[in-house]
A = this chain, B = another copy of it.
């Protein structure tokens, strides 16, 4: 059980963001007697997954859509599957793009380093 400020620290996101996710229907914490948000372990796990989706470039709109399907229950399983498969495809594209770009950077970095090396050799002579 976490208060909003505790969860904010735990997840490394702002309390503003946590409230925003709630208004967007992405998370629905309990409330205590004072009306304060109380996040359970299940909310924490869900939010960790949400942050993974965000890191891998899923938009808030899409995450919201997925959250809505989960909340709607059993009969949305096929839709959820579809959504996750689409995102997996997107992730695989990103992996390709990152690998290619990493290689380009390796090449450029080697280029710069060899030039800098030449320069420092020159300055030694």
Name A's B-contacting residues (CB within 8 A).
Answer: 49, 52-53, 55-56, 77-78, 80-81, 84-85, 87-88, 91-92, 94-95, 97-102, 104-106, 108-109, 112-113, 115-116
User: Which of B49, B97, B109 contacts A81 (CB under 8 A)?
Assistant: B109
Contacts A78-B116, A116-B77 known; A53 to B109 CB distance under 8 Å? no
Q: Is the CB of B92 within 8 A of A52?
A: no
Instruction: For A112, give the chain B residue with the smallest CB separation.
Output: B81
Chain copies in complex: 2
Q: Is the CB of B77 within 8 A of A115?
A: yes
**Chain A residues touching B, majority SS:** helix
Contacts A80-B112, A84-B112, A116-B78 known; A98 to B101 CB distance under 8 Å? no
